[in-house]
């Protein structure tokens, strides 16, 4: 499989700084949604990089440091629980992606985005379904986004120990749902996601 197929096709069209973009945390019941953007160095293949969902937490943590060391540029950003609640999760995800691209220290001239939607950007872009399994830059971005979000959820676990955020990272596991029923919601819960779980 050619991990750089999309990047190289765009380079042939004259684009130089192509960023791969992915998000983490659209589905959880708590916490921000994160996104990352990555511009690789020319012809760069980072050993071990894969779709973040296919890697163990330990492997992702290790790769996080390798990626930020080896790539030409990266940007990481998030959209808050308040933004998720105000504008909906899709729009908040697009906002986080846009911020991640804007956080790149090297200005991208094209963006390839995981999924089937693209944010409104000042540069050309297109989406790739399952892009994190097809493109080295998107796969790298998926790892940065996922690890950044997981680290944040571990911080929340210290603040709100009763929910077990360090284990489930805010996803709607049985343990999390039980804790919600026992303790109610905390400040980082997405209330619109809880309507089916908590009737009141």
Q: What is the pLDDT of residues 67-99, one digit of tens each?
A: 999 999 999 999 999 999 999 999 999 999 999
What's residue 44's pLDDT?
87
CB atoms within 10 A of CB 158: 9
pLDDT tens-place string over residues 38-76: 999 998 899 999 877 889 999 999 999 999 999 999 999
Q: What is the pLDDT of residue 37?
A: 98
Residue 111 phi/psi, 5-degree rounding, is: -125, 135
Please give the Cα distance from 83 to 1 (Å, whole number): 38
pLDDT at 197: 85
pLDDT > 70? residue 200: no
Token pair of 91 as six digits: 């729009």
Higher pLDDT, 16 or 44: 16
What are the structural domains of the chain? 5-153 (3.30.420.10)
pLDDT value, residue 47: 92
Give me the count of residues in the chain. 200
pTM for this entry: 0.96
Instruction: Determine the pLDDT at residue 183.
Output: 95
What is the C-alpha separation between 138 and 37, in angstroms, rounded? 8
Q: What pLDDT score was predicted for residue 194? A: 94
For residue range 105-159, list pLDDT tens digits in order. 999 999 999 999 999 999 999 999 999 999 999 999 999 999 999 999 999 999 9
Structure tokens at 90: 């899709």
Q: What is the DSSP string of the chain?
A: --TTHHHHHHHHTT---EEEEEEE-SS-SBS-EEEEEEEPPTT---TT---GGGS-HHHHHHHHHHHHHHSSEEEEEEE-HHHHHHH-HHHHHHHHHHHHHHT-SS--SEEEEESS-----SS-EEEETTGGGT-HHHHHHHHHHHHHHHHHHHHHHHHSGGG-HHHHTT---HHHHHHHHHH---TTB-GGG-TTT---
- How many Å apart are CA 20 and CA 58, to the nearest integer? 23
HSE toward the beta carbon, residue 21, CA cutoff 13 A: 35
């Amino acid at each position: 499989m050619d991990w750089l197929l999309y990047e190289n096709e765009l380079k042939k069209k004259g684009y130089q700084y192509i960023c791969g973009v992915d998000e983490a945390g659209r589905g959880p019941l708590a916490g921000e949604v994160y996104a990352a953007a990555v511009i690789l160095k020319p012809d760069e293949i980072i050993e071990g990089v894969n779709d973040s969902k296919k890697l163990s937490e330990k492997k992702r943590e290790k790769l996080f440091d390798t990626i930020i060391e080896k790539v030409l540029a990266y940007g990481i950003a998030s959209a808050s629980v308040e933004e998720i609640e105000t504008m909906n999760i899709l729009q908040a995800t697009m906002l986080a992606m846009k911020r991640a691209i804007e956080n790149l220290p090297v200005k991208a001239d094209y963006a390839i985005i995981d999924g089937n939607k693209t944010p409104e950007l000042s540069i050309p872009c297109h989406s790739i379904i399952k892009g994190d399994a097809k493109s080295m830059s998107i796969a790298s971005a998926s790892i940065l986004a996922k690890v950044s979000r997981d680290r944040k959820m571990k911080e929340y676990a210290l603040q709100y120990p009763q929910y077990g955020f360090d284990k489930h990272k805010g996803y709607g596991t049985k343990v999390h749902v039980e804790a919600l029923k026992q303790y109610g919601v905390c400040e980082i819960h997405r209330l619109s996601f809880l309507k089916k779980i908590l009737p009141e």
